[in-house]
Amino acid sequence: MKINSKDFCVREGTEVNLREWPTRVEPVYKSKQQYQTLLAEHVAQLSALQQLLYASNRHAILLIFQALDAAGKDGAIKHVMSGVNPQGCQVFSFKHPSAAELQHDFLWRTTRNLPERGRIGIFNRSYYEEVLIVRVHPELLQSEGLPDAPHDDQVIWHDRYRSIKNLERHLHCNGTRVIKFYLHLSKEEQRQRFLARIDEPEKNWKFSLADIEERGFWKQYMQVYEECLGATSTREAPWYVVPADDKENARLIVSRIILDTLAGLKMTYPKTGAQRRRELQLIRKRLAK
């Protein structure tokens, strides 16, 4: 199987039914060794493109990872970004907002961590939590200090979708490319991974009672993800639904999508003009002495 990024992209204006999106596809690799070879190739290419991104200093990349528990967000970030210069890449994880963060609008705590030009920023969960977990648990809205609680629930989500799309359009116009991944995990695969977290001592720390309680809201999460993906996937900031039951294959798909996006920027190293060449020759003469 050859990875085609378009196969996983949610087209703008599409109504999403996640039952029609597979959680497992034919793997790109035929063996563990081939997977490691392919991933190493992707990581090497990504490292070279990240250096070019930094040197050209015209664009930034924002990677957003959203998924249910145990879908493999941490693993994808760790393995795919393993070869990128740490100075050019930052990862931010967003859990329940702090008291200080609740004193601001719902986009504030994430937007202050947006990447600079030349850098890659990674959001492990993001402002999308405000139209996902908050929608499944609407009681969380009560702590957000909204001035006027809307009488129609649909109004607040519509307004938040609009705010998100406006933000992402603004970022795109100013050079930041937003790539959004939804790691699509099946309920059975999540069950197996939860069992592994219980049975394998080195994974016990990953599991809590809250995880199993959230699993009880599976149907509601599927519904809010479907609406969110359909409402906020745009040409400028597309969503990619990545089959996540096979962790290794998911990582290869994610890395391929990032590489395709970076390649599409058509970046070049800054050209050396006549004045700069003269300056370099003067420096060479000084070093030669």
Reported confidence tier of residue 240, pLDDT bands at 50, 70, 90: very high
pLDDT score, position 152: 60
Distance CA 66, CA 63 (A): 10
Distance CA 158, CA 147 (A): 17
8-state DSSP, 140: G
Tens of pLDDT, residues 14-37: 999 999 999 999 999 999 999 999
Distance CA 117, CA 54 (A): 7
Residue predicted with more confidence, 209 or 237? 237
Nearest Cα neighbor of 259 from 58, 17, 54, 80 is: 80
Q: Which residue type, as a one-letter code, is found at position 235?
A: R
For the residues 113-141, what does the mean pLDDT come to? 95
What's the pTM value of the predicted model, to 2 decimals? Answer: 0.93
Strand partners, 66: 182
For the residues 267-278, what does the mean pLDDT come to? 85
For the residues 102-126, what does the mean pLDDT come to? 96
Reported confidence tier of residue 150, pLDDT bands at 50, 70, 90: low
β-pairing, 120-124 vs 89-93, is: parallel
pLDDT score, position 151: 53
pLDDT score, position 203: 84
How many other β-carbons are positioned within 10 Å of the β-carbon of residue 13? 10
Residues in CB range of 164: below 8 A, 6 or more apart: 107, 127, 128, 131, 232
How many other β-carbons are positioned within 10 Å of the β-carbon of residue 92? 16
The mean predicted confidence, pLDDT, of the chain is 93
Q: Mind listing the domains of the chain with CATH numbers? A: 5-288 (3.40.50.300)
For the four alpha carbons of 231, 187, 125 and 122, in that order, the dihedral sign comes to negative
For the residues 69-87, what does the mean pLDDT come to? 92
pLDDT score, position 282: 85
Residues in CB range of 139: below 8 A, 6 or more apart: none
pLDDT score, position 82: 87
Nearest Cα neighbor of 67 from 182, 180, 232, 179 is: 182
Strand partners, 182: 66, 241
Tens of pLDDT, residues 174-186: 999 999 999 999 9
